[in-house]
């Protein structure tokens, strides 16, 4: 039988006081939020404001903040030989004027956990030891923890997240649209058994502290997931959640079955709550928002109406087609009103293939959650990134949201990978 440890009240008060002082000290190091007069050009709910904290960084993808509010950003492509930026606001004016760089590889994923910075290229994952201020100790000597991952000409980015038991989860996107014999070809059938599922089209789990792992050392945690850029570990129920990029080309590959409008609006982009061993059904099924059903893919005998197998998991939320969800973040801060606590923010990069309809996305949405599942409809939280009322082709967009991060004070950071702008969104009114 375990003995109960009773802490005297005086000592307990001292511990609480010390913890409060520690939290206050680090909270005080974060620059107080102050919105730009024009909210950095963004449209936000009442009471919120935004500013641009830095600009012109390059193709800024995912982002993470340290406990003092400094920023690490992963660049999709290296700039001057470097693919990771470290930004500091030393004069506490709300703008990040100090910039250093390291990591000679491009990519998307970056996160901090248990004293390490983790970052991914399109084929590998590295980690860097951090000091007490969460600054990288030796940027020239990262440890390679995962290597040899499949990276095709599409869906090659490797998004990453860690759980609370020292496991790291890596998206390995399928290097194809729908596993056709002739990728994106006219009426090309799907490959029997979709052989690429042994090394792509799913989420793999590895150890976060073991060097030079590859497929044989990891676990295919979940399969049948076409491509994920937005994923997060929900600490409220200790479960992995992912945002899938849905398939394309229903009309161009199967014009006898789908018209252009159907192809523009189908299939849905979806959120899955993923557990070990789950199969989401790609490439055999897709999710139709209008029908609210899993539908059998035309490559495998579907006609737009036949339902897919019930053996595949259902999404827990669905969104308009082709909007490209590139980041997912469960909000655990205290700055925003209570309704946002434990809810999900999603950065939609914006579509390229909704013609003849207008392109869609280019915004950040919020999904309220309760007990680990959506408790209401999704809503646009931050809009105006594109600078246009109607985007007809992606190159017209001035900015496109890509990464999300929560600051220690509860403000929300958003990256843009067109001009490399970083936005900070805060709550400014208690009305």
Mean pLDDT (whole number) for 130-144: 97
| Residue 296, pLDDT score | 98
Three-state DSSP at 137 gives: coil
What average pLDDT does the structure give for the chain? 92
CB within 8 A of 76, min separation 6: which ones?
58, 59, 60, 61, 106, 107, 108, 157, 417
Mean pLDDT (whole number) for 129-151: 97
Distance CA 322, CA 154 (A): 15
| Residues 363 and 323: beta-carbon distance below 8 Å | no
| Residues 239 and 251: beta-carbon distance below 8 Å | no
The pair of three-digit structure tokens given for residue 17, joined into one six-digit string: 């006081």
The pair of three-digit structure tokens given for residue 357, joined into one six-digit string: 């309809």
Mean pLDDT (whole number) for 78-107: 94
User: Is 31's pLDDT higher than 90?
Assistant: no
User: Is 405's pLDDT higher than 70?
Assistant: yes
Distance of CA 362 to the CA centre of its chain: 14
- For the ranges 5-14, 35-44, 59-68, 209-218, the lowest mean pLDDT is seen at 5-14
Distance CA 37, CA 421 (A): 17
| Residue 158, pLDDT score | 97
Beta strand pairing status for 278-279 and 219-223? Answer: parallel
Which element (helix H / strand E) includes 51?
strand 48-54
Q: Which of 413, 379, 415, 419 is nearest to 397 (CA)?
A: 419
| Residue 430, pLDDT score | 58
Distance CA 359, CA 351 (A): 5
217-240 pLDDT, tens per residue?
999 999 999 999 999 999 999 999
- Composition of the chain by helix, strand, coil, percent to 5: 10, 35, 55
| Residue 148, pLDDT score | 97
The pair of three-digit structure tokens given for residue 15, joined into one six-digit string: 């511990």
What count of other Cβ atoms lies within 10 Å of the Cβ of residue 200? Answer: 27
Number of H helices, E strands in the chain: 3, 29
Mean pLDDT (whole number) for 251-277: 97
Distance of CA 300 to the CA centre of its chain: 30
Which element (helix H / strand E) includes 20?
helix 9-29
The pair of three-digit structure tokens given for residue 130, joined into one six-digit string: 């951090």
Overall pTM surpassing 0.85 (yes/no): yes
What domains are there in the chain, each with its CATH number? 50-427 (2.120.10.30)
Q: Which of 124, 361, 354 is nearest to 250 (CA)?
A: 354
Distance CA 375, CA 382 (A): 20
């Amino acid at each position: 039988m375990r003995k109960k440890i009773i802490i005297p009240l005086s000592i307990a008060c001292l511990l609480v006081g010390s913890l409060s002082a520690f939290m206050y000290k680090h909270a005080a190091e974060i620059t107080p939020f102050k919105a730009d007069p024009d909210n950095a050009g963004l449209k936000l709910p009442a009471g919120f404001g935004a500013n641009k904290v830095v600009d012109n960084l390059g193709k800024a993808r995912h982002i993470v903040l340290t406990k003092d509010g400094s920023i690490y950003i992963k660049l999709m492509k290296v700039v001057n030989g470097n693919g990771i930026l470290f930004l500091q606001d030393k004069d506490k004016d709300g703008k990040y004027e100090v910039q250093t760089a390291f990591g000679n590889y491009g990519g998307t994923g970056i996160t901090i956990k248990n004293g390490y910075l983790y970052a991914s290229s399109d084929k590998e994952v590295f980690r860097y030891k951090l000091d007490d201020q969460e600054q990288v100790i030796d940027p020239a000597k990262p440890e390679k923890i995962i290597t040899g991952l499949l990276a095709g000409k599409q869906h090659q980015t490797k998004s990453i997240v860690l759980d609370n038991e020292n496991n790291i989860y890596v998206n390995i996107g399928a290097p194809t649209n729908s596993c056709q014999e002739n990728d994106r070809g006219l009426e090309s059938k799907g490959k029997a058994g979709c052989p690429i599922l042994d090394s792509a089209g799913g989420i793999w789990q590895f150890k976060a502290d073991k060097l030079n792992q590859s497929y044989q050392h990891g676990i295919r945690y979940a399969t049948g997931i076409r491509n994920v850029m937005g994923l997060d570990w929900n600490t409220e129920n200790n479960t992995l959640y992912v945002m899938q990029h849905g398939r394309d080309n229903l009309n161009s590959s199967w014009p006898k079955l789908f018209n252009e409008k159907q192809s523009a609006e189908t299939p849905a982009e979806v959120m899955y709550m993923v557990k070990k061993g789950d199969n989401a059904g790609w490439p055999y099924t897709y999710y139709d928002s209008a029908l609210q059903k899993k539908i059998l893919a035309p490559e495998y005998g579907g006609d737009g109406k036949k339902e897919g197998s019930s053996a595949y998991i259902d999404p827990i939320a669905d969104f308009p087609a082709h909007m490209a969800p590139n980041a997912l973040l469960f909000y655990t801060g205290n700055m925003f009103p209570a309704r946002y606590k434990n809810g999900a923010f999603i950065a939609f990069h914006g579509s390229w293939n909704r013609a003849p309809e207008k392109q869609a996305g280019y915004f950040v949405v919020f999904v309220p959650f309760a007990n680990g599942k959506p408790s209401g409809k999704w809503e646009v939280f931050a809009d105006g990134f594109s600078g246009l009322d109607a985007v007809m082709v992606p190159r017209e967009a001035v900015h496109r949201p890509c990464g999300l991060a929560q600051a220690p004070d509860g403000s929300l950071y958003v990256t843009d990978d067109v001009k490399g702008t970083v936005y900070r969104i805060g709550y400014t009114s208690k009305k």
